[in-house]
Amino acid sequence: GKRAFIAGVADDNGYGWAIAKALAAAGAEILVGTWVPALNIFESSLRRGKFDISRILPDGSMMEITKVYPLDAVFDNPDDVPEDIKTNKRYAGSSKWTVQEVAESVKEDFGSIDILVHSLANGPEVTKPLLETSRNGYLAAISASSYSYVSLLKHFLPILNPGGSSISLTYIASERIIPGYGGGMSSAKAALESDTRVLAFEAGRKRKIRVNTISAGPLRSRAAKAIGF
């Protein structure tokens, strides 16, 4: 069977969860990466059975998540982590959650994966029009929503089995004007789409890994509600 790592699952409402279920239904083993600040509530909800109905697969069995890894995809390695995050209560309770460390942990635990899914985005100023977006807000959107994918693929590439596949989720606001998708999120998705082409070329040549992005339709995830979509 195939093994999948899905980055960006913190509840049962988003694309990451739905993709995990589809892959589980197709027989894949499921590993997920959960944003550090959301980890406790996700793990306790899982344990308490809050997602049990959502875990039911078409054949009546339940999706098993083999392991949940804490992840913050805006940090590549411990040297990148600023002091205020290191000492933040929600982060100090977990360890090895930078992208490089998560890839190393997955390698230690399982050796390799076949499928890498990026289902995460964050734009702190998403509700602001681009004209009112600060430099920091714009760069944060790009860091969390675009470079996070470059970094994930870079660090997981050595443990992605040749013939494997990687996908991310994008949004058509990259190509067309969609008021309300601000804060540099439209720019971040444009970067993600361009990077997908370049990374498909590079990862295809380097390790025979396919790289695609899917332009998603509307789904009332936590992230979508935050924008009022």
What's the min distance (Å) between Cβ of 95 and ligand ZID?
Answer: 15
Q: What is the DSSP string of 107-130?
A: HHHHS-EEEEEE-----TTTTS-G
Distance CA 191, CA 63 (A): 33
What's the min distance (Å) between Cβ of 205 and ligand ZID?
Answer: 26
219 touching ligand ZID, by CB under 6 A: yes
Helix (H) or strand (E) holding 187: helix 185-207
Contacts of ligand ZID in 131-160 (CB under 6 A): 144
What's the min distance (Å) between Cβ of 222 and ligand ZID?
Answer: 4
Distance CA 39, CA 91 (A): 10
Copy the structure tokens of residue 24.
């589980």
Site string for ligand ZID, 73-92 (x = CB under 6 A): xx------------------
Asked whether 160 and 113 are in contact (CB, 8 A), the reply is yes
Distance CA 101, CA 14 (A): 25
171 touching ligand ZID, by CB under 6 A: yes
Kindly tell me which residue out of 5, 8, 12, 63 binds ligand ZID, with binding defined by CB under 6 A. Answer: 8
Task: Map residue 224 onto helix, strand or coil.
Answer: helix
Residue 171: active-site member: yes
What's the min distance (Å) between Cβ of 42 and ligand ZID?
Answer: 8
Pair type for strands 3-7 and 113-118: parallel
- 10 Å Cβ neighbour count for 188? 31
Residue 15: active-site member: no
Smallest CA-to-CA distance from 202 within 164, 154, 159 is with 154
123 touching ligand ZID, by CB under 6 A: no
Kindly tell me which residue out of 27, 49, 179, 217 binds ligand ZID, with binding defined by CB under 6 A. Answer: 217
Stretch that binds ligand ZID, among 23-31, 114-122, 151-159, 196-204 (CB under 6 A): 114-122
Q: Residue 56 corresponds to which amino acid?
A: I
Asked whether 167 and 118 are in contact (CB, 8 A), the reply is yes
22 touching ligand ZID, by CB under 6 A: no
Tell me the site size for ligand ZID, rule CB under 6 A: 29
191 touching ligand ZID, by CB under 6 A: no
Kindly tell me which residue out of 4, 10, 103, 142 binds ligand ZID, with binding defined by CB under 6 A. Answer: 10
Q: Which is nearer to ligand ZID, 27 or 217 (CB)?
A: 217
Residues that are catalytic: 171, 181
